[in-house]
Amino acid sequence: MPDTLENKYLSDSHDLLSLPPGQSGLVEWKCPSNIALIKYWGKKPVQRPLNPSLSFSLMNSVTTMTVDYQTIKEQRQLSLEFLMENKPNQAFAERVFHYLNHISQYLPFLRSLHLRIQSQNSFPHSAGIASSASSYGALALALCSIEQLLFGTLENEDEFFQKSSFLARLGSGSACRSVYGGWTIWGYTPTIHGSSDEAAISMTRSIHPVFKDYCDSVLVVSSGQKSVTSSIGHALMEQHPFASGRISQANYNLEKLIQALVRGDENRFIDIIENEALTLHGLMLSSNPGFVLLQPNTIEIINKIIVFRKNTGLSVSFTLDAGANVHVLYPAAIENEIRLFIEKDLRKYCENDWIIHDRVGSGPVKSEQL
């Protein structure tokens, strides 16, 4: 019995080799992006996290990935056409080609297919919403659907999503959390049964109702290219003097956050998620070399949220991704009050008044009857 998913998929791959030529089809998945509350920051080979993370999938910010496939006689290497927002995109095509090549060890039939992949996002680029999470999530789901159509090997729903999560992770770590709706955990932690560095697991069932439709308004402070990419940031954790402290903190915060999510304890929730957001940027500041992704308006917004919460007692909080934009989080029950606050006090800090309203979503959807 293989002890890891990696070994299982490698040993299963012998059964996914021989394809009769002339088969073709079309699959399409819509997959959401996600926002992490316990942050994944730092990795070990291959694309495994230094610490466990927890996120929720968004409702409106999705990538639609449409994949046409055709088996080619005697073909032994990948053949790819890639369109982004209906246009060829060389840079993305190369990344996807490289990714497909890497994962073809788990899906060897890819080398006998011609693929035409079209990718479309419901949200603008550089809005501070991770399109790599939704894109690799959608692509991995589509590839697993093709495996199922051609070989019938992923009939079992749990196995289907587990393999999709495993494959999405190899594109972008945080993408493995996007193949599930609601609340999701990625990374092994001793207190959570089934948690794994290789694939994410869903924890939506045990969540208190107040967190099931939590709102996330993304305040776009800057849509510009980041000065330091996430890949570089992850790599800087390798020699980071605070790495072991960070790993203990993330495991501790995760355990406490899960308790808060199950009990519906919003005060505890706020303490933990804001600590995580500030820690993420603290790790960037204290890397060598250090770097700053926060901008003056990021700090203005954070301070305004803290004062507003103190004055009103309303459960509004913030989290940050690896960038300057602020995700404002609040329960659906106080949506009107918080929207007013955002309009009155926060919109002025956004680039071109740019705000994207989103919330916890129910996860990826496969298009039927194409």
Over the window 322 to 361, marking each residue x when it contacts ligand PMV by CB under 6 A and - when it does not, the resulting string is x---------------------------------------
Phi, psi of 52 (to 5 degrees): -70, 155
- Which C-beta is closer to ligand PMV: that of 130 or that of 203? 130
Q: Identify whether the C-beta of residue 39 lies closer than 8 Å to the C-beta of residue 323.
A: no
Which residues does residue 55 pair with via DSSP β-bridges, in sequence order? 36, 184
The least distance separating ligand PMV from the CB of residue 47, rounded to whole angstroms, comes to 8
- Which C-beta is closer to ligand PMV: that of 19 or that of 65? 65
Task: Count CB neighbours of 108 within 10 A.
Answer: 15
Does the protein bind ligand PMV through residue 298 (CB under 6 A)? Answer: no
Interacting positions 235-264 with ligand PMV (CB under 6 A): none
Among 63, 174, 251, 279, binds ligand PMV (CB under 6 A): 174
Among 265, 276, 321, 358, binds ligand PMV (CB under 6 A): 321
The least distance separating ligand PMV from the CB of residue 222, rounded to whole angstroms, comes to 16
* Sign of the alpha-carbon torsion through 256, 187, 142, 216: positive
Among 29, 40, 106, 180, binds ligand PMV (CB under 6 A): 40
Does the protein bind ligand PMV through residue 39 (CB under 6 A)? Answer: yes
Nearest one of 212, 228, 337 to 292, comparing CA atoms? 228
The least distance separating ligand PMV from the CB of residue 171, rounded to whole angstroms, comes to 9
Q: Identify whether the C-beta of residue 34 lies closer than 8 Å to the C-beta of residue 58.
A: yes
- Which C-beta is closer to ligand PMV: that of 55 or that of 112? 55
Does the protein bind ligand PMV through residue 53 (CB under 6 A)? Answer: yes
**3-class DSSP state of 92:** helix
Give the side-chain half-sphere CA count within 13 A for 301. 31
The least distance separating ligand PMV from the CB of residue 36, rounded to whole angstroms, comes to 3
10: enclosing H helix or E strand: helix 5-12
60: enclosing H helix or E strand: strand 53-71
Does the protein bind ligand PMV through residue 276 (CB under 6 A)? Answer: no
Q: Identify whether the C-beta of residue 222 lies closer than 8 Å to the C-beta of residue 325.
A: yes
Which pairs from 278-286 meet CB under 8 Å and 24+ separation? 278/320, 279/39, 279/246, 279/249, 280/39, 280/41, 280/320, 280/322, 281/320, 283/41, 283/42, 283/233, 283/237, 283/240, 283/242, 283/246, 284/228, 284/233, 284/236, 284/322, 286/240, 286/241, 286/242
The least distance separating ligand PMV from the CB of residue 178, rounded to whole angstroms, comes to 10
Contact region for ligand PMV (CB under 6 A) — 36-44, 200-208, 244-252, 350-358?
A: 36-44
Q: Identify whether the C-beta of residue 78 lies closer than 8 Å to the C-beta of residue 97.
A: yes
Does the protein bind ligand PMV through residue 42 (CB under 6 A)? Answer: no
Contact region for ligand PMV (CB under 6 A) — 5-13, 34-42, 287-295, 331-339?
A: 34-42
Alpha carbon distance 201, 162 (integer Å): 8
Contact region for ligand PMV (CB under 6 A) — 37-45, 84-92, 219-227, 306-314?
A: 37-45
- Which C-beta is closer to ligand PMV: that of 129 or that of 154? 129
Interacting positions 111-130 with ligand PMV (CB under 6 A): 130
Q: Which residues bind ligand PMV (CB under 6 A)?
A: 36, 39-41, 53, 130, 132, 172-174, 230, 280, 321-322
